Chain A
Amino acid sequence: GEDVEQSLFLSVREGDSSVINCTYTDSSSTYLYWYKQEPGAGLQLLTYIFSNMDMKQDQRLTVLLNKKDKHLSLRIADTQTGDSAIYFCAERGPSGYNKLIFGAGTRLAVHP
């Protein structure tokens, strides 16, 4: 079955880069997503990557996909206190598959 795993907690200093990692099991996943959740709020789509891509960059965010190892990472450059939140990795299965499978979320804490 499908499974998505993430480390639960990451602490970084303001201005440093943050790297949040995610592994998934379904090799037929077509899209992989990163969502951000601030306290008491819904999920904000940060970025997503199609499975035939290795990397996608969008301003401070860089997504790397290693399809062979089923490993996805999100790098946040110049991390700010406003980046403190929970980050969810999610995969979508084969074409036409409706559901997203979410990881447990990584809590990012940014300190001065």
Chain B
Amino acid sequence: GAVVSQHPSRVICKSGTSVKIECRSLDFQATTMFWYRQFPKQSLMLMATSNEGSKATYEQGVEKDKFLINHASLTLSTLTVTSAHPEDSSFYICSARTGDSNQPQHFGDGTRLSIL
């Protein structure tokens, strides 16, 4: 149980393109979803927290206009990297949680984004 599916797994695109990443909870309802960014050989950096039907809460230093998050249903959240540039290249990972904050987060397999 508690499977989180993230697509695509890898994206390579040109600078200036907008890229959408999907995060789905397959067998549970995700009241809260989280988006992380991970640089090579480093830990995860939380970008934003989204609750279904609400606006996302962004961490300090994360541009909300650059990283658009939509959590339209209890099983789907999307992260759109707008007008991506090479410095946005990274590994993006989502996680989902059901219920309250006592419940653990379950992670997707991540998306490797490479901007040329």
Contact = CB atoms under 8 A, between A and B. Distances in A.
Interface residues of A, number: 23
Contacts of B85: none
Interface string A58-83: 00000000000000000000000000
Contacts, number: 50
A40 B104 contact: no
A87 to B, nearest CB: 11
Interface in A18-41: 30-31, 33, 35, 40-41
A95 B107 contact: no
A28 B78 CA distance: 32
Given A31-B102, A42-B93, A43-B93, A99 B46 contact: yes
Contacts of B102: 30-31, 95
Given A102-B43, A104-B43, A48 B104 contact: yes
B24 to A, nearest CB: 13
A112 B103 CA distance: 37
B85 to A, nearest CB: 23
A102 B110 CA distance: 17
7 A-B pairs with least C-beta separation = A42-B107, A43-B107, A42-B109, A42-B110, A102-B43, A104-B43, A42-B108
11 contacts: A30-B102, A40-B112, A41-B110, A42-B4, A42-B95, A45-B106, A45-B107, A88-B43, A98-B49, A99-B46, A103-B43
